Amino acid sequence: MVKICCIGAGYVGGPTMAVIAVKCPEIEVAVVDISVSRIQAWNSEVLPIYEPGLDEVVKQCRGKNLFFSTDVERHVAEADIVFVSVNTPTKTRGLGAGKAADLTYWESAARMIADVSKSDKIVVEKSTVPVKTAEAIERILTHNSKGIKYQILSNPEFLAEGTAILDLFNPDRVLIGGRETSDGQKAVEALKSVYAHWVPEDKILCTNLWSAELSKLAANAFLAQRISSVNAMSALCEATGADVAQVAHAVGTDSRIGPKFLTASVGFGGSCFQKDILNLVYICECNGLVEVAGYWKQVIKVNDYQKSRFVNRVVSSMFNTVAGKKVAILGFAFKKDTGDTRETAAIDVCKGLIGDKAHLRIYDPQVSEEQIQRDLAMDKFEWDHPAHLQPAAAGADKQVSVVGDAYEAAKGAHAVCVLTEWGEFKGLDYRRIYEGMQKPAFVFDGRNVVDVEKLREIGFIVYSIGKPLDPWLKDMPAVA
């Protein structure tokens, strides 16, 4: 029986290993983590992450061939294949701070593998890492090897949150990079045979190590670049009377461009895009490629611009001040169908409004009050460290309260901001919401989920990203 161990029971490690376990009943899969609370949650009825379809998959194989444990060393020692899926945050201090990937967690995992191993192992980079990381990992492993042979593979993960199970069941491709030696190729074949249980062979791409590592950063940069492109267009649409949804549709029907990932928004969030592009920028700079670095940096700049443009729009529309005004925030997660708030645009928008002294009442169907308060208290780049290393949420901020539904959030408010595209926000009774609000009542839709015409008929002043402006907003001073 092949034994797999995955270090890191997070958004990637948990779902990925659950799918391997369910598709490969003869393989024993152990997912290990240093976070006791995370492992307890994986072994409980309430999993530590919300992901559609995940509960069913875990229930099918947990306790049979899927195990969650804090006994990291034992499971690593027993495994033939060790996946490493720990977090790789942006460095907050020292050389490369604010850009380079912090490989502290990865390095400590590698040192532990070297310490406890008693048999040959395939070590798989599942985390997103800078290109050439495998070389450093190889050195750590072989330096302490006691004659044990290691093969390092790069097998980056392309799942998106909210659709992780679908993505894992039916991936566009699985990418495996390995050394071009005969032992390296044997290791590639061994990992390939795991995925071949359910992924067609032509979708399993095999490359050299560096191509696999770099492809992950490149794919995220390309995806984020499309969003910044359409968001840049949304600003021009507002200035000219074009409608960004119509422009995106017209552009996306060109088969060379394609329709996906062209939805204008208040800005992309999530744990990957910004972190991985900053990492790419840093690698380009280290290689003397200043223009290339500048090109990718612009994707982040446009994203930051989009978030501050949204805040400016809210403030300028409401007579240039939101001080003391009540603003309902609908949605805090970085996208629908997840409770994840890492790098969500809502953090920057809320901080911007709090900075202007607004009083926020926040509702999200999947995000807890504790998480929201912690996010709003946290410094940039601190979010991607394990929860047990994070500061406790600072006491509830007077300016922020978290409530149990959208109607409560909007009661008595001067404005409603939609920041996550949860389906339930489309079907709200906006007439009821209007009646309970202060007048003039504003809706600022950062996700283009509301029916603009219907809301204007009710009496709202509506701003929707990239849509022709409400006459009210046109008369307001131009926003930066």
Residues forming the site for ligand NAD (CB under 6 A): 7-13, 33-35, 38, 72, 85-88, 105, 108-109, 127-128, 157, 159, 161, 271-272, 386
Beta carbon of residue 329, minimum distance to ligand NAD (angstroms, whole number) = 23
Which listed residue (5, 272, 284, 350) is catalytic? 272
Q: What is the DSSP string of 146-198?
A: TT--EEEEE------TTSHHHHHHS-S-EEEEE-SSHHHHHHHHHHHHHHTTT
53 is in the binding site of which of ligand UDX, ligand NAD, none (Cβ under 5 to 8 A by kind)? none
13 counts as binding ligand UDX under rule CB under 6 A: no
265 is in the binding site of which of ligand NAD, ligand UDX, none (Cβ under 5 to 8 A by kind)? ligand UDX
- Kindly tell me which of 117 and 225 has the beta carbon lying closer to ligand UDX: 225
9 is in an annotated binding site: yes
C-alpha to C-alpha distance for 367 and 339, rounded to whole angstroms: 5
354 is in the binding site of which of ligand NAD, ligand UDX, none (Cβ under 5 to 8 A by kind)? none
464 counts as binding ligand UDX under rule CB under 6 A: no
Contact 81, 194 (CB under 8 A): yes
Q: State the sign of the Cα–Cα–Cα–Cα dihedral 84, 88, 94, 96.
A: positive
Beta carbon of residue 344, minimum distance to ligand NAD (angstroms, whole number) = 13
CA angle (380 as vertex; 343, 124 as ends), nearest 5: 60
Beta carbon of residue 419, minimum distance to ligand UDX (angstroms, whole number) = 10
Beta carbon of residue 400, minimum distance to ligand UDX (angstroms, whole number) = 21
CA angle (133 as vertex; 130, 139 as ends), nearest 5: 165
Beta carbon of residue 51, minimum distance to ligand NAD (angstroms, whole number) = 10
60 is in an annotated binding site: no
- Kindly tell me which of 66 and 400 has the beta carbon lying closer to ligand NAD: 66
Tell me how many residues contact ligand UDX (CB under 6 A): 19
Cα 424 to Cα 148, 331, 365, 395: the distances in Å are: 55, 10, 9, 30
- Kindly tell me which of 116 and 206 has the beta carbon lying closer to ligand NAD: 116
- Kindly tell me which of 309 and 326 has the beta carbon lying closer to ligand UDX: 309
C-alpha to C-alpha distance for 266 and 287, rounded to whole angstroms: 33
Which residue pairs, CB below 8 angstroms and at least 24 apart, start in 207-210? 207/175, 207/176, 207/177, 208/177, 208/178, 208/179, 208/180, 209/134, 209/152, 209/153, 209/154, 209/177, 209/178, 209/179, 210/131, 210/132, 210/134, 210/177
| Structure-block tokens of residue 261 | 């990932």
- Helix 290-317 to helix 345-355 angle (10° resolution) is 50
Q: What is the DSSP letter of 388?
A: G
310 counts as binding ligand UDX under rule CB under 6 A: no
C-alpha to C-alpha distance for 396 and 402, rounded to whole angstroms: 9
Binders of ligand UDX in range 138-177 (CB under 6 A): 157-161
Out of 269, 339, 446, 466, the only residue in the binding site for ligand UDX (CB under 6 A) is 269
C-alpha to C-alpha distance for 225 and 144, rounded to whole angstroms: 41
Contact 422, 405 (CB under 8 A): no
Out of 10, 13, 177, 270, the only residue in the binding site for ligand UDX (CB under 6 A) is 270
- Helix H or strand E segment including 206: strand 204-208
C-alpha to C-alpha distance for 433 and 418, rounded to whole angstroms: 13
- Kindly tell me which of 151 and 177 has the beta carbon lying closer to ligand UDX: 177
- Helix 345-355 to helix 369-377 angle (10° resolution) is 70
272 is in an annotated binding site: yes
- Kindly tell me which of 88 and 448 has the beta carbon lying closer to ligand NAD: 88
The closest residue (CB) to ligand UDX is 270
228 is in the binding site of which of ligand UDX, ligand NAD, none (Cβ under 5 to 8 A by kind)? none
DSSP bridge partners of 355: none
- Kindly tell me which of 72 and 350 has the beta carbon lying closer to ligand UDX: 350
Beta carbon of residue 212, minimum distance to ligand NAD (angstroms, whole number) = 13
350 is in an annotated binding site: no
Does residue 272 carry a catalytic annotation?
Answer: yes
234 counts as binding ligand UDX under rule CB under 6 A: no
- Helix H or strand E segment including 7: strand 3-7
300 counts as binding ligand UDX under rule CB under 6 A: no
312 counts as binding ligand UDX under rule CB under 6 A: no
Outline where 318-429 has alpha helix (H). 345-355, 369-377, 406-410
10 is in an annotated binding site: yes
Contact 99, 122 (CB under 8 A): no
- Kindly tell me which of 269 and 466 has the beta carbon lying closer to ligand UDX: 269
Binders of ligand UDX in range 247-266 (CB under 6 A): 261-263, 265
Contact 69, 75 (CB under 8 A): yes
Beta carbon of residue 262, minimum distance to ligand UDX (angstroms, whole number) = 6
Enumerate binding residues for ligand UDX (CB under 6 A).
157-161, 220, 223, 227, 261-263, 265, 268-270, 272-273, 334-335
Residues serving a catalytic function are: 272
Q: What are the binding residues?
A: 8-13, 33, 38, 86-90, 127-128, 161, 272-275, 342
Residue stretches of the annotated binding site for NAD(+): 8-13, 33, 38, 86-90, 127-128, 161, 272-275, 342
